[in-house]
Amino acid sequence: MSTAAMNAMRVVRATWPPILFGLAFLGTWELIVVLYDIKTFLLPAPSAILSALADNVGSVWDAVRVTGTNALVGLLLGTVVGVALSFALMRFRVLNELVTPLAVALNAIPIIIVVPVLNNMFSTTSQVGRRLMVLLIVLFIVLVNVAKGLRQVSATHVELMRSYAATPWEILVKIRIPNAVPYLFTALRIAAPLAVITAFVAEYFGGTQDGLGSRITSNAANSRNDVMWAYVIGACVLGLTFYLLAILIENAAGRHQGRTRSTTTTGTTATATPAAPTGVAAHS
């Protein structure tokens, strides 16, 4: 069997259980709404939600694009700042003792307090406040995980490197950073959907009314629950997309690291293997 066929079979085996469960859940939902004659303003049927999604697909896409852009910008900036700050905290113990409690305290402040303050710092048509809120949430997650990965290295590996007179920079590159990479991807798997949630919730507290959060609240206030659920589907798809992208990046990085190690090991083995002696006379 070819590699492509084996990969396709693995994908099918991994996806059919959740797909089957989802279809069963939607069917049960539709049946309950029909049998108990539940009104649309209380709980619309999945068929009504899909119909509303088809009628408003352009508006849903525009809202997804706005919220997704805010989440993506905040996620990227929060990841970069969090990683850079993790290196600084590892290098300077005093900075670690000062910044870590501050980051914990800032992360404990409810979003409903921070977002209005950030929105008031910029114009009503600006998305900067929402992106900064996403940045703050992502920064804390990345900071905690990457800093842990940089510190929790094997003492045996560090001592071995020092026995070979390795510099702190060489220890960082060869031991600490490779050890921190899995922690970074764990942080991204957590932060990616959380960035969408944060950008989504931040739209409830002022600013432009063109994202998923504002569209959901406006349709809920007008008792257009089927349209509201159409925007909820957009939010779910957006969060799932961010999560899957984080997993794909992690898998791609893992394959690249595996090929690099394989190449390095092969080169080392070839270098260490002595050449066959030549010119040895045969004994009769």
State the pLDDT confidence band at 282, using cuts at 50, 70 and 90: very low
Give the model's pLDDT for residue 262.
57
- Start-end of H helices in the chain: 3-35, 46-55, 57-91, 93-108, 111-120, 128-151, 155-163, 168-171, 177-202, 212-221, 225-272
Sign of CA dihedral 167, 139, 80, 186: positive
* 170-210 residue pLDDT tens: 888 888 888 888 999 999 999 999 999 999 888 887 777 78
Query: Is pLDDT at 89 greater than 90 in this prediction?
Result: no
Calculate helix-pair angle for 128-151, 93-108, nearest 10 degrees.
130
Question: What secondary structure letter does DSSP report for 174?
Answer: I
Residue scoring higher pLDDT (144 or 267): 144
Q: Which of 138-142, 185-189, 270-274 comes out lowest in average pLDDT?
A: 270-274
Burial of residue 89, with CB atoms counted within 10 A of its CB: 0-12 exposed, 13-18 middle, 19 or more buried: buried
Based on its alpha-carbon atoms, the radius of gyration of the chain, rounded to whole angstroms, reads: 26
Calculate helix-pair angle for 46-55, 3-35, nearest 10 degrees.
110
Averaged pLDDT, 218-224: 84
Give the model's pLDDT for residue 191.
93
Give the total residue count for the chain.
Answer: 284
> What is the distance between the alpha carbons of residues 75 and 198, in angstroms, rounded to a whole number?
10
Give the global pTM: 0.80
Query: Is-contact 205 116, C-beta < 8 A?
Result: yes
Query: Is pLDDT at 96 greater than 60 in this prediction?
Result: yes
State the pLDDT confidence band at 162, using cuts at 50, 70 and 90: confident
State the pLDDT confidence band at 266, using cuts at 50, 70 and 90: low
Which tokens is 259 given? 């090929």
> What is the distance between the alpha carbons of residues 89 and 103, in angstroms, rounded to a whole number?
12
Indicate the fold that domain 41-258 takes in CATH.
MetI-like fold (1.10.3720)
CA angle (164, 167, 170) in 5-degree steps: 90
The pLDDT > 70 percentage for the chain reads: 86
Residue scoring higher pLDDT (275 or 211): 211
Indicate the SS3 state at residue 180: helix
Mean pLDDT estimate for the chain: 82
Backbone angles phi, psi at 130, to 5 degrees: -70, -40
Burial of residue 206, with CB atoms counted within 10 A of its CB: 0-12 exposed, 13-18 middle, 19 or more buried: middle
Q: Which residues contact 30 (CB under 8 A, 6 or more apart)?
A: 45, 46, 47
> What is the distance between the alpha carbons of residues 7 and 1, in angstroms, rounded to a whole number?
10
Residue scoring higher pLDDT (281 or 25): 25
- Domain regions of the chain by residue span: 41-258
Say how far residue 20 (Cα) sits from the centre of its chain.
26
Give the model's pLDDT for residue 196.
92
165: phi > 0 → left, psi -120 to 50 → alpha, else beta; which? left
